[in-house]
Structure 1
Amino acid sequence: MTNTLHISIAAQSDNLGDVEIRRQLIEQFLQRGYHLVVFTGNMPQTYIDAFRLPSGAKVVSNPLAFQASVLRNALLGRASLAYAPGPHVLTDSPKALAKAAAVLGLCAFVRLRGGSLSVIGRSLRGTGRLSIGLERALSAMATSYAMRDTASAPVLGRSADVMPDMAFMRNASVDNSVAGQRDIVALSFRSDRAVNLDGLVSLIEASQARGLKPVFITQVRRDDEVHAELSKILGIDAVLWENRTHSEQEEVIEHYYSRSHAVVSNRLHSLLFGVAHQAFPVALHEENHNKIPTTLKPWVDFDSLVLDDPDFAFLSRTESDRKVLSDSAKAAGTVLGKYISSKVPDHS
């Protein structure tokens, strides 16, 4: 009997990283023969289009209709559920607790009817005692439960599988067999955190001295404003999102990442999009923010750049270093693929 995967893709609609990790997880189920019911909520059409869903997928924007589909297919013994990958903050606000409890009840019904429950690529933060209890119940109920970072299990207060971020699967779909000119240092910064301007000037000058062209790259639309401002102040190019669709912007930034020697960013998926093109990941070091190191460190080496006291050794990395990066990234994708194969029933 063909099984039906139910998954929500409602997320930050201006973030290509959110698209990528959900798209990669969905693809794993499609490869294993699942039908698809996708909850979109109020996501814009260009966001939905970026998922390139198969023609047979059922797209549902109403939450009650989505829940009804889960219950109906569960009664027939053919429902599976997957939590969308990405960060989840455990808070004890009444709204958060009510939502978590309701979804947990839906999960329990699916499991009682023999369906699978996949929680892969989750990242936990927060200290809500009741929310942590509900999350522990979810982990016990799930047929697969894997965090994407090493910081989540301590939040949960118990051991959990740690697997590469879903974006590592992107490496398999990118063709790097024909190496082009690598003349760019891609810069992609969060709009909600200040960047040391003097250190950034030093980075730009050091890059240019090595014949590399620094370029701001917008992968999250809300970062356009800060990139445009910094571009004007520093006199370098910026690849802004502006009025492009999600798919158009993804195609544009892919071109720039394929030409990048390195990607310097405090956004995890800017680094991982670059890694897919064998661009060296350079994470801005930020106190009290451990998302990037706890996600990347188990799988690929990366540079940590402190703009207050910068070290630009990454600008001198060689093609042999790039081969090591590529092999490590591919190995991470293989590890994740094997884990999914061991946990997700095949209905193809």
Structure 2
Amino acid sequence: MSLKTQYENLGDLVINAVLAAELNRRGRFLGISNGAPADYVDDFQALAEQLSGAPITCGELRQMAPRILQAAAGSGMTLVLSPGHNTLDQPTRTRQILSTATHYGLGRLRILQVGASFEGAFPETTRLYSQLRKAGHPLSVRDIISRNGFAERGINLPIVPDLAFGLQCSTHNEGDIGLIAVREHKSQPYEQLRKTVAAIAVAMHAVQLEPVMFFQVSLDAPLHARLAYDLGIRELNTGNHRPSFDEAMQVYARAGAIVSNRLHGLLVAAAAGALPLPLLHPEERKIRGALAEGELSGLIIEAEPECRKRTGELLARRSELHNRIVVPAFARCKQQLEDFFDGATG
């Protein structure tokens, strides 16, 4: 598996590490680190080993070449497409290589895709997926939006829950802080977002949770700083670097709830015990689809300044909702992931 991804996005680190851990428990995993920063490779390797309970092998392609050639000539190998880096649309060369390799059946090569989400697929991607599916390669998508998009093109793919559901979900929900983690959305001007976040902060105060800003994607840092300053809300992390997995989990374990429009922020925090409350606009269909697979749609808050009442109602029941809805959702989705990997790896 290539380790190319959004390096400053903790969510991408987590889902790639979950993917690697699942595969590492079932076979010999090789992570190709070409182009990945050394600190990211270290974080990825440490987390994947923590999750799988076994060593993970990562290195440059030239280091891995003998092992790859040995596998290709022997029992065969699987090329894993990282969900954090859509290799099927850029660069074109990747599509050409995959298409040629699968067409000629080189070295019993299999292509595995899990965790992918597509609002709309490029024609080149559609052609390649059609070819791979007909050849029996283990492909999947994470939500009904993606599945329906491919189905319209005559490609039937199964839905497998988001990889973040592969984390073990804590039943602890006794935190005294309420996390706010938002990204900018094109349909919501800053002033409207400010009013929405202000309403959420009031709702958190009303149930004895201190509202605080916390990002796990460095791109969100400037927006968080601005909101914190304008609303007088404390920031738990500053600067422009994402937290490590352990740092984030320590913060999430202190939270009674997290309100966010970042899917993996919600799910990683939920695994640590925070009630995940998705703050979404109507057009955020992919996130809604991923949440629906986990049967978490009932926790969605519509992103509008008048959301205080609903936010307060959900926050007041945070421990009950977390243990009645979220913990079983993780257990159910984790089993679906296990079943998919068992079938995909034989």
User: What range describes the TM-score normalised by the shorter chain of this pair?
Assistant: 0.7 to 0.9
Query: Structure 1: which amino acid aligns with 2:230?
Result: I
Matches within 5 A, 1:1-348: 7-32=1-26, 34-51=27-44, 52=46, 57-60=57-60, 70-86=68-84, 88=86, 96-108=91-103, 111-156=105-150, 157=153, 158-171=155-168, 176=170, 179=172, 181-191=174-184, 193=186, 194-195=189-190, 196-240=193-237, 242=239, 249-301=244-296, 302-310=299-307, 311-312=310-311, 313-324=313-324, 325-345=326-346
Cα 1:141–1:21, aligned 2, differ >3 Å: closer, same or farther? Answer: farther
Quote how far apart the aligned CAs of 1:67 are: 7.1
Quote how far apart the aligned CAs of 1:38 are: 1.5
Query: Structure 2: which amino acid aligns with 1:40?
Result: S
* SS state at 1:161 partner: coil
* Percentage identity across paired residues of the two chains: 22
CA contact (8 A) 1:164 1:295 kept: yes
CA contact (8 A) 2:31 2:58 kept: yes
Quote how far apart the aligned CAs of 1:21 are: 0.9
Query: Structure 2: which amino acid aligns with 1:59?
Result: G
Query: Structure 1: which amino acid aligns with 2:28?
Result: H
Quote how far apart the aligned CAs of 1:336 are: 1.1
Which deviations, in whole Å up to 9, do the C-alpha atoms of 1:158-206 show, x marking residues without a partner?
A: 32100111110112xx5x36x3632121111125655511121111112
How far apart, in 2, do the equivalents of 1:73 and 1:9 lie? Answer: 19
Query: Structure 2: which amino acid aligns with 1:186?
Result: L
Q: Which runs of 4+ in 1 moved over 6 A?
A: 65-68
* SS state at 1:297 partner: helix
With the length of structure 2 as denominator, give the TM-score of the two structures.
Answer: 0.84
How far apart, in 2, do the equivalents of 1:187 and 1:142 lie? Answer: 43
Quote how far apart the aligned CAs of 1:316 are: 1.7
* SS state at 1:262 partner: strand
* SS state at 1:211 partner: coil
Q: Larger deviation: 234-243 or 330-339?
A: 234-243
* SS state at 1:42 partner: coil
Cα 1:340–1:90, aligned 2, differ >3 Å: closer, same or farther? Answer: closer
CA contact (8 A) 2:140 2:158 kept: yes
Cα 1:342–1:264, aligned 2, differ >3 Å: closer, same or farther? Answer: same
Quote how far apart the aligned CAs of 1:334 are: 1.2
Quote how far apart the aligned CAs of 1:88 are: 3.9
How far apart, in 2, do the equivalents of 1:205 and 1:180 lie? Answer: 20
Cα 1:56–1:317, aligned 2, differ >3 Å: closer, same or farther? Answer: closer
Quote how far apart the aligned CAs of 1:294 are: 0.6
CA contact (8 A) 2:173 2:256 kept: no
With the length of structure 1 as denominator, give the TM-score of the two structures.
Answer: 0.84
Which deviations, in whole Å up to 9, do the C-alpha atoms of 1:52-110 show, x marking residues without a partner?
A: 25656141156xx767864553123332221112474976xxx644331222323455x
Whichever structure has more strand as a proportion of its residues is 1
Give the aligned partner of residue 3 of structure 1: none
Cα 1:300–1:209, aligned 2, differ >3 Å: closer, same or farther? Answer: same
How far apart, in 2, do the equivalents of 1:37 and 1:332 lie? Answer: 26
Q: Larger deviation: 198-207 or 71-80?
A: 71-80
How far apart, in 1, do the equivalents of 2:56 and 2:288 lie? Answer: 39
Query: Structure 1: which amino acid aligns with 2:59?
Result: V
Cα 1:127–1:24, aligned 2, differ >3 Å: closer, same or farther? Answer: closer
How far apart, in 1, do the equivalents of 2:22 and 2:164 lie? Answer: 12
Query: Structure 2: which amino acid aligns with 1:190?
Result: R
CA RMSD of aligned residues (A): 2.6
Cα 1:337–1:285, aligned 2, differ >3 Å: closer, same or farther? Answer: same
Whichever structure has more helix as a proportion of its residues is 2
Cα 1:317–1:102, aligned 2, differ >3 Å: closer, same or farther? Answer: same
Which deviations, in whole Å up to 9, do the C-alpha atoms of 1:280-309 show, x marking residues without a partner?
A: 222222243212101111213232332233
Cα 1:31–1:229, aligned 2, differ >3 Å: closer, same or farther? Answer: same
